[in-house]
Structure 1
């Protein structure tokens, strides 16, 4: 019996030592976990009144946890995070819609300009000029627009904290690409880069004759006529009132313009400006205004005396003083 008792005591002693060792290790791991938790907390939210010692600071952190749970801050944080994701996702969806709408708006604003141009002879009485906007397709932009839609769908489907965290990081990457400092900003966001504009020459039946996307091979007169049509149309577009009879601001000052063409080209160029509703004031050197003269209502010669004073002398269409 005594031998069995001694064996039982020895076994119990061994088990007690093992349990004590295990408990000590668990305590050490718990202290380490508390130390890491307290340290991480204070790194994010510094507080000179809190320490990181597991034994000395435990009660302080326990009171802080109780206060946070009582105030429901963690629930407010979750609601805030979910709201942030939802609102940001809505913004990304809105961006995709606004990009598409902006391209449509460019076409819509060019339509009334084309209605004006349809009444103005171009090159001769049997042809007209039409501004043709075409959306320029880009693989990079297409992928970006697709990513906008996918991120929005991913946000809607995120149900757990882990999924919401992933959604946030995907959204952050998309937002980084549209910051003004991002290398892709102009290509992705500036819709002026999404549309390619060309000018199409048509006959009176609306049949295609030629496309102008540069003027390199044109003569001086042809290029001036084309420029007059394009620049005038662009001004009506920029003013945003091409549907009105007159532009909101009609005077246009041209310095040494229309001086490289004969009277035929010059007349059509001036007719284009007038047809678009503008009032022209053209400045030209004294020896290069002959082609302009037949097409203006009034002509003034600017003179200058030896004292440096200048004045305008009326020549055409204005009674002599």
Structure 2
């Protein structure tokens, strides 16, 4: 009975001490969260979350360490090696990815006649080479790090030497990244050796069955109509590729609104430009001035005219059909004019 009494008393004392320590610890944790943590409630002021606080403490200790340990050096060299390998692979595959996406877009253009001769349009790209010195520096540092991985990863002296050898190429990467400027949310890509888009030149090929292929590398010198048709083909195929998700699916949102997009195109180009987009799966809604309605009506399923009454400043829509168009064309010139057509 004495042993039970003593044990029970001791347990009660330990419980009381434990509760006191828990309260003190959670008060300190709560003060820490108020001063240093965000308001995302990821960590609560509870000793149940002690391991998260320990992880954070370890990270803080890493930041304030005066002298890096051998283990930290080895870990850093391994991460550098992995990053350089990933960069080396990306330099080889980024160009291939761009060509692959162009091939998918070109598959959308198959069967669509382009130009007055009914040719077939396809897109292609050429890349200027990466700077030879950049490639050489990357290849050299990868070779050194591979040798370190195989033969000297357990040698602290060689590990620090390998880490210092990375400095030249890391500085080179910093210089490349410093050429990218972000102005008002629009990035000006200038990392020539890192981004193949900076080294790319896109052009179009028009294939003809009975004539030489035509290469379009610039929009300069082309009429507004020719440029409009080229734009319809390229944007239409690109949009269905992006919105459709693969080579066969229709876009999830298929309506295109073109606000006076054809005002510079003549009748032939207007018809061809508007014909390709519905064949790619889009519903087209075009607004155009009165001078362009004749060409659009020839390919439109429905047409509406917006009228404005000058006396009331009220506008209204009237659907045009073949009967309405015939009446408008046959009515005498002395007939009273309708309200002014605005769009």
Which residue of structure 1 aligns with residue 317 of structure 2?
Answer: 312
Task: Name the CA distance, whole Å, in 1 between partners of 2:279 and 2:200.
Answer: 26
- The counterpart of 1:257, out of the listed 261, 268, 272, is 261
Q: CA deviation at 1:309?
A: 4.3
Work out whether residues 117 and 130 of structure 1, in 8 Å CA contact, stay in contact via their aligned partners in 2.
yes
Q: Unpaired runs of 5+ in structure 2?
A: 1-64, 153-157, 182-188, 325-343
Distance (Å, rounded) in 2 between the aligned partners of 1:258 and 1:169? 55
SS at match of 2:193: helix
Match of 1:152 in 2: 142
2-structure distance, mates of 1:214, 1:91: 38
State which of 104, 122, 137 in structure 1 corresponds to 2:128. Answer: 137
How many residues are matched? 244
Counterparts of 2:251 and 2:130, CA distance in 1:
38
Structural RMSD (CA) = 3.1
2:292 equivalent to 1:288: yes
1:267–1:77 distance in 2 versus 1, CA, 3 Å? same
| 1:106 matches 2:104 | no
Partner Cα separation in structure 1 for residue 166 and residue 279 of structure 2? 54
Written as runs of structure 1 = structure 2, the 5 A alignment for 1:55-74 is none
Quote the Cα distance in structure 1 between the aligned partners of 2:315 and 2:138. Answer: 62
Contact 1:259 1:289 in 2 (8 A): no
State the 1:129 CA deviation: 0.6
Q: TM-score, normalised by structure 2?
A: 0.62
Judging by fraction of residues, say which structure has more helix.
Answer: 1
- Partner secondary structure for residue 174 of structure 1: helix
Post-superposition shift, 1:125?
5.5
Give distance in 1, aligned partners of 2:190 and 2:118: 44
Name the SS of the counterpart of 2:265 in structure 1: coil
Are positions 1:233 and 2:237 aligned together? Answer: yes
Q: Residue 198 in 1 paired to residue 198 in 2?
A: no
Partner of 1:189: 194
In structure 2, do the counterparts of structure 1 residues 304 and 220 end up closer, same or farther at CA, with 3 Å as the change threshold? same
Aligned position for 2:82: 90
How far apart in 1 are the matches of 2:323 and 2:84?
61
Q: Any idea what the Cα deviations from partners look like across 1:164-199, whole Å, max 9, x if unmatched? A: 243232343233234345688532333322332100
Q: Distance in 1 between matches of 2:196 and 2:270?
A: 34
Going from structure 1 to structure 2, the CA distance change for 1:259 and 1:238 (only over 3 Å counts) comes to same
TM-score, normalised relative to structure 1: 0.66
Which ranges of 4 or more aligned residues in structure 1 deviate by more than 6 Å?
Answer: 73-76
State which structure, 1 or 2, has the greater radius of gyration over its C-alpha atoms. 1
Partner of 2:51: none
Distance in 1 separating the partners of 2:317 and 2:206: 40
Deviation at 1:161? 4.6
Pick closer, same or farther for the CA change 1:76–1:287 going to 2, 3 Å: closer
Distance, in Å, in 2 between the alignment partners of 1:202 and 1:138 is: 28
| Partner in structure 1 of residue 173 of structure 2 | 175
Structure 1 residues 145 and 157: alpha-carbon distance in aligned structure 2, compared to 1, 3 A threshold: same
Secondary structure at the aligned position of 1:303 is classed as strand
State how far apart, in whole Å, the 2-side matches of 1:278 and 1:228 are: 11
Corresponding position of 1:38: none
Q: 1:188 to 1:236 in 2, by over 3 A?
A: farther
CA distance in 1, matches of 2:78, 2:323: 68
